[in-house]
Amino acid sequence: MLPSEKFHDECGVVAIYSNPEAEKLAYLGLHALQHRGQESAGIVTSNGMTLNMHKAMGLVADIFTEEELAKLHGTLAIGHTRYSTAGDSSLLNAQPIMVQSNKGMMALAHNGNLVNASELRGRMESQGSIFQTTSDTEIIVHLIAFSKEQTLPEAMADALRRVEGAFSLVMISPDRIFAARDPRGFRPLAMGRISAQPGQKQDTIVFASETCAFDLIGATYEREVKPGELIVVGPEGVTSRFYATPMAQSSCIFEHVYFSRPDSRVFGRAVQESRENLGCQLAREAPADADIVVPVPDSGVTAAMGYAAESGIPLRFGLIRNHYVGRTFIEPRQAVRDFGVKLKLNPVRSLLEGKRVVLIDDSIVRGTTSRKIVRMIRSAGAKEVHMRISCPPTVSPCFYGVDTPSKKELIAANNTVEQIREFIGADSLSYLSLEGMKKACGDGEKTTYCTACYTGKYPTNWVDVEEILPVTAVKS
């Protein structure tokens, strides 16, 4: 979809301990996590003595050539692929962030957003700290260096107790890998293992934002890193400690609705199962008298499968996505209506003509893209278009690592469902209920979810009041 009309997760992280090809496994892990961020990527490796880093703007496969990976040869590695939420989109803010500090050489990569970043940064700058980036990740590095604790694990635990918000992070020192999650468990982080091959002394321990990275590198999923847990993997083996007292769990439900790949296991639950359940529940709550179910690719595909199965209405891929659209393109001199959407999606007229269509997507953000898609389906000859959304209306921005617009830009924050239906031009519009979404994603089974973007009720006290003030309705 168009960059401005879909939510973006901030990033994905991966870490490898004890493997002769750690840099290649980190590269492959990032490749599997590319959907979590397409602006920049970086890898830091250790050969046991020193750290080496390469990071750049762009996609993983373009950044890490064989020549670049050869320079990174090591047995430990961490990697990061980024979509900016806090901080500008520039190489300066690309991660991992590597420093030589009073605690030794280290590099850190982080998924999430610190809601008390501005306060901490201001305090440290007043004490003489000099920041090289505008990323909130650098704040954690400074806190580790500031800590009076003598060892790196203790200093990291001390630093993590001082930050508020969402973070799943990995860190590397010359001989250790660290992995941690915030006490509320906002963002996912899984731990896996690759059995030692002949000639290797020990198993390879791996961490990644999603388990789809494990599948590509041949790792076996072991468990989630627990909220508030700090895991250190070093010569002494795997050690675990809880650096903070347990808090009410607030795992991001949008990981299951949209962000994570369907083939991943996130928060201990299969994403494919959640998405199909969302579609089934949507069909129960919002049935439609129609001929075909059509997903908006790729975000609506799995939910559409569930909707079709539950409703008995056949699933048809009436919209085809072009997967080869680059970041830049040349528009024709003669203006083409809805050109941006047409670059990425094209209707299949033979499937849509004369049909009553149930159109399935995961969200409506500003409404402009949904409006163009509805118009496109009508122009292909559809008799009726019934829009169904596999989550509740998004009424509030996220402060925990998701690039959501401010409240004034969210169409559902300022309009009724009927007003939105009128704006996008659908014959009917229905959203999944909050309870239906939580039920479909197994809320309360393995985790409880943060639903602040649907309710405006935030699990932390630190929010930007200006961002959540409502405004007047949008005009069509």
- E-only strand ranges, 115-162: none
Helix 301-311 / helix 271-285 crossing angle, nearest 10 deg: 50
Per DSSP, helices labelled H in 312-381 are 339-344, 349-352, 368-379
Catalytic: 11?
Answer: yes
Q: Judging by DSSP bridges, how do beta strands 384-389 and 356-361 pair with one another?
A: parallel
Torsional sign, CA 34, 365, 88, 161: negative
Shortest CA distance to 171 belongs to which of 41, 20, 19, 46? Answer: 46
The residues, any chain, with a CB within 8 Å of residue 268's CB and separated by 6 or more, are 223, 224, 446, 447
CA 180 vs CA 112, 150, 203, 437: distances in Å: 12, 19, 20, 28
Backbone angles phi and psi of 78, in degrees to 5: -130, 155
Q: How far is the C-alpha of 251 from the C-alpha of 227, rounded, in Å?
A: 9
Neighbour count for residue 385 (Cβ, 10 Å): 25
CA angle 18, 21, 26 (to 5 degrees): 85
Q: Judging by DSSP bridges, how do beta strands 356-361 and 292-295 pair with one another?
A: parallel
Catalytic residue among 11, 212, 280, 453: 11
Q: How far is the C-alpha of 84 from the C-alpha of 11, rounded, in Å?
A: 8
- DSSP class of 317: -
Q: How far is the C-alpha of 251 from the C-alpha of 379, rounded, in Å?
A: 41
- Catalytic residues, by residue number, are 11
